[in-house]
């Protein structure tokens, strides 16, 4: 498995392409089809990912085996690595990809002298919360984000110190 940095427009197209089935399948039961569409058209769009990389210092990586099986988006902050996105295709879940991805993310943090990874996760995303706990994350607080379009994200802030 490799973690290939997203650099070109074509790479971003690949991220956008694998985001859609993951989001439709995983999040429709959690937040509803309409909000999923809104998230895909905004937060997971080519335009937004491009802006995050070019203007906000985000790094994206495709998780690849024979083909792309997931992706990661993160931002190096002053005191922590913020893990904005980690998505593994449903057929590849539960087989250790997430743990390997987290090892890679921690290695990136270490390179920047950081020892903390933070993320936010939907409060009803029970499977992923369970996986994060297994990976050593602890819930820090409840957070709520207004993401426009009349939608809010009711999340937990979770952190891993290592």
Ligand X SMILES: CC(C)(COP(=O)(O)OP(=O)(O)OC[C@H]1O[C@@H](n2cnc3c(N)ncnc32)[C@H](O)[C@@H]1OP(=O)(O)O)[C@@H](O)C(=O)NCCC(=O)NCCS
Stretch that binds ligand X, among 49-57, 85-93, 105-113, 138-146 (CB under 6 A): 85-93
Binding mask 125-154 for ligand X (x = CB under 6 A): x-xx-xx--xx-------------------
Helix extents (H) in the chain: 9-31, 33-41, 46-55, 97-111, 126-134
Classify the phi-psi angles of 143: left when phi > 0, otherwise alpha if psi is within -120 to 50, otherwise beta: beta
Binding mask 1-40 for ligand X (x = CB under 6 A): -------------------------x--------------
Residue 110 binds ligand X (CB under 6 A): no
Residue 107 binds ligand X (CB under 6 A): no
Sign of the torsion angle spanned by Cα atoms 69, 88, 75, 37: positive
Q: Which residues contact 59 (CB under 8 A, 6 or more apart)?
A: 5, 6, 53, 73, 74, 75, 76, 108
Residues in contact with ligand X, total (CB under 6 A)?
20
Residue 121 binds ligand X (CB under 6 A): yes
Tally the C-alpha atoms within 13 A of residue 157's C-alpha that lie toward its C-beta.
9
Q: According to CB under 6 A, which one of 43, 98, 106, 156 is a site residue for ligand X?
A: 98
Residues that bind ligand X (CB under 6 A): 26, 86-88, 93-99, 119, 121, 125, 127-128, 130-131, 134-135
């Amino acid at each position: 498995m490799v973690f290939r940095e997203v650099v070109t427009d074509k790479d971003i197209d690949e991220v956008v392409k694998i985001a859609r089935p993951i989001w439709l399948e995983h999040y429709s039961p959690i937040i509803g089809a309409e909000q999923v569409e809104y998230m895909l058209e905004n937060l997971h769009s080519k335009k937004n990912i491009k802006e995050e990389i070019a203007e906000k210092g985000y790094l994206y990586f495709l998780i690849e085996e024979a083909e792309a099986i997931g992706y990661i988006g993160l931002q190096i902050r002053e005191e922590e690595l913020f893990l904005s996105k980690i998505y593994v295709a449903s057929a590849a879940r539960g087989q250790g990809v997430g743990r390997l991805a987290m090892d890679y993310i921690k290695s990136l943090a270490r390179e920047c002298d950081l020892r903390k990874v933070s993320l936010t996760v939907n409060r009803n995303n029970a499977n992923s919360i369970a996986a994060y706990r297994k990976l050593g994350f602890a819930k820090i607080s409840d957070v709520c984000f207004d993401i426009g379009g009349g939608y809010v994200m009711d999340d937990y802030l979770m952190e891993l110190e290592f």
